[in-house]
Amino acid sequence: MVSKFNKKHVVSIKDFSKEEIDFVLDLAGDMTEIAKGNKSDDSLKGNILGTLFFEPSTRTRLSFESAMKRLEGACIGFARAGTSSVKKGETLADTVQVISSYVDIIVLRHPQEGAARLAAKFSEKPIINAGDGAGQHPTQTLLDLFTIREEKDEIENKKIGIAGDLKYGRTVHSLTHALSMYDCDLTFIAPASLQIPDEIIKDIEKMDIKYRKAENITDVLDDLDVLYMTRIQRERFPSDEEYEEVAETYKIKKDMLENVKDDMIIMHPLPRVDEIYSDVDSTTHAKYFKQAANGVPIRMALLKLLTEGYNE
Protein backbone atom coordinates (compact mmCIF):
# COMPACT_ATOMS: atom_id res chain seq x y z
CA MET A 1 0.00 0.00 0.00
CA VAL A 2 1.36 3.38 -0.97
CA SER A 3 2.13 5.75 1.86
CA LYS A 4 0.03 8.61 0.47
CA PHE A 5 -3.17 6.54 0.57
CA ASN A 6 -3.41 4.57 3.77
CA LYS A 7 -7.06 3.47 3.63
CA LYS A 8 -8.82 0.14 3.85
CA HIS A 9 -12.31 1.54 3.22
CA VAL A 10 -13.77 4.61 1.46
CA VAL A 11 -16.76 5.61 3.56
CA SER A 12 -16.72 9.42 3.82
CA ILE A 13 -14.82 12.23 2.15
CA LYS A 14 -14.28 13.51 5.70
CA ASP A 15 -11.89 10.60 6.23
CA PHE A 16 -9.56 12.00 3.55
CA SER A 17 -6.72 14.47 3.88
CA LYS A 18 -6.04 16.95 1.07
CA GLU A 19 -2.87 15.01 0.24
CA GLU A 20 -4.85 11.77 -0.12
CA ILE A 21 -7.44 13.45 -2.35
CA ASP A 22 -4.75 14.91 -4.60
CA PHE A 23 -3.08 11.51 -4.79
CA VAL A 24 -6.31 9.86 -5.99
CA LEU A 25 -6.87 12.65 -8.54
CA ASP A 26 -3.32 12.25 -9.86
CA LEU A 27 -3.76 8.50 -10.28
CA ALA A 28 -7.15 9.03 -11.96
CA GLY A 29 -5.40 11.31 -14.44
CA ASP A 30 -3.16 8.38 -15.36
CA MET A 31 -6.28 6.24 -15.86
CA THR A 32 -8.16 8.40 -18.36
CA GLU A 33 -6.87 6.76 -21.56
CA ILE A 34 -7.47 3.30 -20.06
CA ALA A 35 -11.00 4.36 -19.10
CA LYS A 36 -11.63 5.34 -22.72
CA GLY A 37 -10.33 2.01 -23.97
CA ASN A 38 -7.31 3.59 -25.70
CA LYS A 39 -4.84 1.74 -23.46
CA SER A 40 -5.01 -1.56 -21.60
CA ASP A 41 -4.33 -2.43 -17.96
CA ASP A 42 -4.79 -5.90 -16.47
CA SER A 43 -3.62 -5.06 -12.93
CA LEU A 44 -6.87 -6.31 -11.35
CA LYS A 45 -7.11 -9.51 -13.35
CA GLY A 46 -8.31 -12.27 -11.03
CA ASN A 47 -10.03 -9.81 -8.67
CA ILE A 48 -13.80 -9.71 -8.19
CA LEU A 49 -15.89 -6.62 -7.37
CA GLY A 50 -19.15 -7.11 -5.47
CA THR A 51 -21.78 -4.45 -6.23
CA LEU A 52 -24.46 -4.34 -3.52
CA PHE A 53 -27.03 -1.75 -4.55
CA PHE A 54 -30.00 -1.58 -2.19
CA GLU A 55 -31.43 1.41 -4.06
CA PRO A 56 -31.52 2.43 -7.75
CA SER A 57 -28.41 3.68 -9.53
CA THR A 58 -27.33 4.10 -13.12
CA ARG A 59 -24.09 6.11 -13.38
CA THR A 60 -22.50 4.99 -10.12
CA ARG A 61 -23.13 1.26 -10.53
CA LEU A 62 -22.28 1.06 -14.21
CA SER A 63 -19.17 3.24 -13.90
CA PHE A 64 -17.85 1.00 -11.11
CA GLU A 65 -18.48 -2.07 -13.25
CA SER A 66 -16.84 -0.40 -16.25
CA ALA A 67 -13.85 0.60 -14.09
CA MET A 68 -13.36 -2.95 -12.83
CA LYS A 69 -13.68 -4.49 -16.29
CA ARG A 70 -11.28 -1.97 -17.82
CA LEU A 71 -8.73 -3.32 -15.34
CA GLU A 72 -9.57 -6.90 -16.38
CA GLY A 73 -11.41 -7.66 -13.13
CA ALA A 74 -14.83 -9.30 -12.80
CA CYS A 75 -18.10 -8.12 -11.20
CA ILE A 76 -20.93 -9.84 -9.35
CA GLY A 77 -23.80 -8.37 -7.35
CA PHE A 78 -27.35 -7.09 -7.44
CA ALA A 79 -29.01 -3.86 -8.56
CA ARG A 80 -31.94 -3.85 -6.12
CA ALA A 81 -32.58 -5.29 -2.70
CA GLY A 82 -35.64 -7.25 -3.84
CA THR A 83 -33.41 -9.71 -5.67
CA SER A 84 -31.29 -10.48 -2.58
CA SER A 85 -31.81 -12.36 0.68
CA VAL A 86 -32.58 -9.02 2.34
CA LYS A 87 -36.12 -9.68 1.12
CA LYS A 88 -36.12 -12.71 3.43
CA GLY A 89 -35.03 -10.60 6.38
CA GLU A 90 -31.25 -10.98 6.26
CA THR A 91 -29.38 -8.17 8.02
CA LEU A 92 -26.89 -5.90 6.27
CA ALA A 93 -24.14 -7.19 8.57
CA ASP A 94 -24.80 -10.81 7.56
CA THR A 95 -25.04 -9.93 3.87
CA VAL A 96 -21.72 -8.10 3.94
CA GLN A 97 -19.93 -10.85 5.87
CA VAL A 98 -21.10 -13.47 3.38
CA ILE A 99 -20.38 -11.46 0.24
CA SER A 100 -16.93 -10.44 1.50
CA SER A 101 -15.97 -14.12 1.36
CA TYR A 102 -16.85 -14.20 -2.36
CA VAL A 103 -15.13 -11.03 -3.58
CA ASP A 104 -12.04 -8.87 -3.18
CA ILE A 105 -13.77 -5.49 -2.81
CA ILE A 106 -17.36 -4.31 -2.23
CA VAL A 107 -19.25 -1.25 -3.48
CA LEU A 108 -22.34 -0.52 -1.38
CA ARG A 109 -25.28 1.80 -1.97
CA HIS A 110 -27.92 1.85 0.75
CA PRO A 111 -30.88 4.11 1.64
CA GLN A 112 -29.90 4.37 5.32
CA GLU A 113 -27.32 6.92 6.43
CA GLY A 114 -24.41 5.21 8.16
CA ALA A 115 -24.90 1.88 6.38
CA ALA A 116 -21.48 1.96 4.72
CA ARG A 117 -19.65 2.60 7.99
CA LEU A 118 -21.58 -0.25 9.60
CA ALA A 119 -20.72 -2.53 6.66
CA ALA A 120 -17.03 -1.66 7.02
CA LYS A 121 -17.09 -3.06 10.55
CA PHE A 122 -18.27 -6.46 9.33
CA SER A 123 -16.40 -6.82 6.05
CA GLU A 124 -13.05 -8.53 5.67
CA LYS A 125 -12.64 -6.77 2.32
CA PRO A 126 -12.55 -3.05 1.41
CA ILE A 127 -15.90 -1.24 1.35
CA ILE A 128 -16.56 1.71 -0.97
CA ASN A 129 -19.58 3.83 -0.08
CA ALA A 130 -21.60 4.51 -3.23
CA GLY A 131 -24.14 6.61 -1.33
CA ASP A 132 -25.87 6.09 2.01
CA GLY A 133 -29.16 7.91 2.30
CA ALA A 134 -28.67 11.62 2.96
CA GLY A 135 -25.18 10.90 4.25
CA GLN A 136 -22.06 10.68 2.10
CA HIS A 137 -21.17 9.94 -1.53
CA PRO A 138 -17.36 10.19 -1.51
CA THR A 139 -16.66 8.88 -5.01
CA GLN A 140 -19.05 11.46 -6.49
CA THR A 141 -17.12 14.16 -4.64
CA LEU A 142 -13.81 12.84 -5.96
CA LEU A 143 -15.03 12.84 -9.57
CA ASP A 144 -16.44 16.36 -9.06
CA LEU A 145 -13.04 17.58 -7.84
CA PHE A 146 -11.34 15.75 -10.69
CA THR A 147 -13.62 17.47 -13.21
CA ILE A 148 -12.91 20.92 -11.79
CA ARG A 149 -9.18 20.28 -11.87
CA GLU A 150 -9.25 18.85 -15.39
CA GLU A 151 -11.31 21.73 -16.77
CA LYS A 152 -9.82 24.61 -14.76
CA ASP A 153 -6.25 23.27 -14.28
CA GLU A 154 -6.52 23.64 -10.52
CA ILE A 155 -9.11 23.77 -7.74
CA GLU A 156 -7.43 26.51 -5.71
CA ASN A 157 -8.56 30.13 -6.08
CA LYS A 158 -11.73 29.34 -8.00
CA LYS A 159 -15.12 31.00 -7.47
CA ILE A 160 -17.55 28.11 -7.18
CA GLY A 161 -21.32 28.44 -6.98
CA ILE A 162 -23.38 25.53 -5.66
CA ALA A 163 -27.08 25.80 -6.46
CA GLY A 164 -30.33 23.97 -5.75
CA ASP A 165 -31.22 21.80 -2.78
CA LEU A 166 -28.32 22.49 -0.43
CA LYS A 167 -30.11 21.33 2.71
CA TYR A 168 -30.74 17.68 1.84
CA GLY A 169 -28.33 16.98 -1.03
CA ARG A 170 -25.60 14.51 0.01
CA THR A 171 -23.45 15.37 -3.01
CA VAL A 172 -23.47 19.04 -1.97
CA HIS A 173 -22.50 18.29 1.64
CA SER A 174 -19.58 16.07 0.63
CA LEU A 175 -18.37 18.48 -2.04
CA THR A 176 -18.51 21.49 0.29
CA HIS A 177 -16.41 19.70 2.88
CA ALA A 178 -13.82 18.74 0.26
CA LEU A 179 -13.67 22.23 -1.26
CA SER A 180 -13.02 23.65 2.21
CA MET A 181 -9.58 22.00 2.01
CA TYR A 182 -8.78 24.22 -0.98
CA ASP A 183 -8.59 28.00 -1.10
CA CYS A 184 -11.90 28.47 -2.92
CA ASP A 185 -14.52 31.21 -2.81
CA LEU A 186 -17.91 29.51 -2.33
CA THR A 187 -21.39 30.82 -3.14
CA PHE A 188 -24.42 28.88 -1.88
CA ILE A 189 -27.44 29.56 -4.10
CA ALA A 190 -30.77 28.31 -2.75
CA PRO A 191 -34.13 29.40 -1.36
CA ALA A 192 -33.93 30.13 2.37
CA SER A 193 -35.75 26.88 3.20
CA LEU A 194 -33.14 24.81 1.35
CA GLN A 195 -29.94 26.70 2.18
CA ILE A 196 -26.76 25.00 3.29
CA PRO A 197 -27.06 23.67 6.89
CA ASP A 198 -25.51 25.71 9.70
CA GLU A 199 -23.24 22.85 10.80
CA ILE A 200 -21.58 22.83 7.37
CA ILE A 201 -21.14 26.60 7.48
CA LYS A 202 -19.40 26.20 10.84
CA ASP A 203 -17.03 23.66 9.32
CA ILE A 204 -15.98 25.92 6.44
CA GLU A 205 -15.62 28.89 8.77
CA LYS A 206 -13.09 26.87 10.76
CA MET A 207 -11.13 26.47 7.51
CA ASP A 208 -11.28 30.24 6.91
CA ILE A 209 -12.94 29.78 3.51
CA LYS A 210 -14.69 32.73 1.88
CA TYR A 211 -18.40 32.17 1.30
CA ARG A 212 -21.66 33.97 0.66
CA LYS A 213 -25.31 33.05 0.29
CA ALA A 214 -27.63 34.02 -2.54
CA GLU A 215 -31.22 33.29 -3.46
CA ASN A 216 -31.05 34.13 -7.16
CA ILE A 217 -28.61 32.57 -9.62
CA THR A 218 -28.70 35.58 -11.94
CA ASP A 219 -27.31 37.79 -9.16
CA VAL A 220 -24.03 35.86 -9.03
CA LEU A 221 -23.74 33.88 -12.27
CA ASP A 222 -21.45 36.28 -14.13
CA ASP A 223 -18.84 36.16 -11.36
CA LEU A 224 -18.42 32.38 -11.18
CA ASP A 225 -15.71 30.05 -12.51
CA VAL A 226 -17.82 26.96 -11.76
CA LEU A 227 -21.57 26.51 -11.34
CA TYR A 228 -22.55 23.23 -9.68
CA MET A 229 -26.27 22.66 -10.22
CA THR A 230 -28.51 20.28 -8.29
CA ARG A 231 -32.21 19.58 -8.47
CA ILE A 232 -34.73 21.55 -6.43
CA GLN A 233 -36.86 18.74 -5.05
CA ARG A 234 -40.59 19.28 -5.30
CA GLU A 235 -41.21 16.83 -2.44
CA ARG A 236 -39.42 19.15 0.02
CA PHE A 237 -42.16 21.81 -0.27
CA PRO A 238 -45.50 21.79 1.57
CA SER A 239 -47.40 22.65 -1.62
CA ASP A 240 -46.92 22.70 -5.39
CA GLU A 241 -47.62 26.43 -5.34
CA GLU A 242 -44.65 27.12 -3.06
CA TYR A 243 -42.44 24.90 -5.22
CA GLU A 244 -43.45 26.63 -8.45
CA GLU A 245 -42.73 29.99 -6.84
CA VAL A 246 -39.01 29.24 -6.54
CA ALA A 247 -38.41 26.51 -9.13
CA GLU A 248 -38.00 28.83 -12.11
CA THR A 249 -35.30 30.74 -10.24
CA TYR A 250 -33.11 27.64 -10.22
CA LYS A 251 -33.13 26.76 -13.90
CA ILE A 252 -30.33 27.50 -16.36
CA LYS A 253 -31.11 28.43 -19.95
CA LYS A 254 -28.71 29.26 -22.77
CA ASP A 255 -29.74 32.91 -22.94
CA MET A 256 -28.68 33.35 -19.30
CA LEU A 257 -25.06 32.63 -20.24
CA GLU A 258 -24.42 35.63 -22.48
CA ASN A 259 -22.37 37.55 -19.89
CA VAL A 260 -20.68 34.73 -17.97
CA LYS A 261 -16.93 34.15 -18.11
CA ASP A 262 -15.87 32.49 -21.36
CA ASP A 263 -14.35 29.56 -19.49
CA MET A 264 -17.05 29.19 -16.83
CA ILE A 265 -18.15 25.55 -16.50
CA ILE A 266 -21.51 24.09 -15.50
CA MET A 267 -21.59 20.80 -13.59
CA HIS A 268 -24.38 18.57 -12.31
CA PRO A 269 -24.22 15.20 -10.48
CA LEU A 270 -27.16 13.98 -12.62
CA PRO A 271 -29.84 12.93 -13.21
CA ARG A 272 -31.23 16.32 -14.17
CA VAL A 273 -34.92 16.99 -14.59
CA ASP A 274 -35.47 20.49 -15.96
CA GLU A 275 -32.97 22.57 -13.98
CA ILE A 276 -30.60 22.74 -16.98
CA TYR A 277 -32.32 23.24 -20.31
CA SER A 278 -31.14 21.10 -23.22
CA ASP A 279 -30.09 24.18 -25.18
CA VAL A 280 -27.19 24.54 -22.71
CA ASP A 281 -25.79 21.14 -23.74
CA SER A 282 -24.25 22.50 -26.95
CA THR A 283 -22.37 25.33 -25.22
CA THR A 284 -18.73 25.17 -24.17
CA HIS A 285 -19.86 25.68 -20.57
CA ALA A 286 -21.64 22.31 -20.29
CA LYS A 287 -19.39 19.75 -18.58
CA TYR A 288 -21.92 17.49 -16.82
CA PHE A 289 -21.69 14.61 -19.30
CA LYS A 290 -17.89 14.73 -19.20
CA GLN A 291 -18.23 14.89 -15.40
CA ALA A 292 -20.21 11.64 -15.47
CA ALA A 293 -17.58 10.02 -17.70
CA ASN A 294 -14.91 11.02 -15.17
CA GLY A 295 -16.51 8.59 -12.75
CA VAL A 296 -14.71 5.73 -14.50
CA PRO A 297 -11.06 6.87 -14.05
CA ILE A 298 -11.74 8.00 -10.48
CA ARG A 299 -13.26 4.64 -9.58
CA MET A 300 -10.47 2.80 -11.40
CA ALA A 301 -7.97 4.65 -9.22
CA LEU A 302 -9.79 3.71 -6.02
CA LEU A 303 -10.17 0.06 -7.03
CA LYS A 304 -6.45 -0.17 -7.76
CA LEU A 305 -5.49 1.50 -4.50
CA LEU A 306 -7.82 -0.50 -2.27
CA THR A 307 -6.87 -3.83 -3.79
CA GLU A 308 -3.17 -2.95 -3.72
CA GLY A 309 -3.08 -3.24 -7.48
CA TYR A 310 -1.07 -0.06 -7.78
CA ASN A 311 2.71 0.00 -7.66
CA GLU A 312 4.31 3.37 -6.96
Q: What is the pLDDT of residues 256-295, one digit of tens each?
A: 999 999 999 999 999 888 899 999 999 999 999 999 999 9
Q: What is the CATH number of the domain that holds 199?
A: 3.40.50.1370
Asked if residue 206 belongs to a domain, the reply is yes
What is the mean pLDDT of the segment spanning 123-140?
A: 88
Report whether 294 contacts 147 (CB < 8 A): yes
Among 109, 110, 149, 173, which one carries the catalytic annotation?
Answer: 109
Among 59, 213, 251, 261, which one carries the catalytic annotation?
Answer: 59
Which DSSP symbol is given to 257? G
Respond yes or no: is residue 177 known to be catalytic. no
* Mean pLDDT for the chain overall: 89
Domain count, the chain: 2
The per-residue pLDDT for 1 is 40
Question: Same domain for 284 and 155?
Answer: yes
The per-residue pLDDT for 312 is 46
Question: Same domain for 177 and 273?
Answer: yes
The torsion region of residue 240 among left (phi > 0), alpha (psi -120 to 50) and beta comes to: alpha
Respond yes or no: is residue 59 known to be catalytic. yes
Q: Dump pLDDT digits (tens) for 155-209.
A: 999 999 999 989 877 789 889 999 999 989 999 999 888 899 999 999 899 988 9
Angle between the N-to-C axes of helices 18-35 and 138-152, in degrees from 0 to 180, rounded to the nearest 10 = 80
Question: Same domain for 128 and 159?
Answer: no
The whole domain housing 130 covers 13-136+293-306
Please name which of 130, 205, 196, 143 lies closest in space to residue 168, comparing C-alpha atoms.
196
Report whether 214 contacts 188 (CB < 8 A): yes
Question: Same domain for 151 and 227?
Answer: yes
Question: Same domain for 234 and 287?
Answer: yes
Grouping H, G, I as helix, E, B as strand and the rest as coil, residue 253 is: coil
Respond yes or no: is residue 272 known to be catalytic. no
Among 61, 110, 137, 304, which one carries the catalytic annotation?
Answer: 137
Asked if residue 84 belongs to a domain, the reply is yes
Question: Same domain for 258 and 113?
Answer: no
Among 51, 60, 147, 171, which one carries the catalytic annotation?
Answer: 60
Asked if residue 4 belongs to a domain, the reply is no
Q: Dump pLDDT digits (tens) for 100-125.
A: 999 999 999 998 888 999 999 999 89
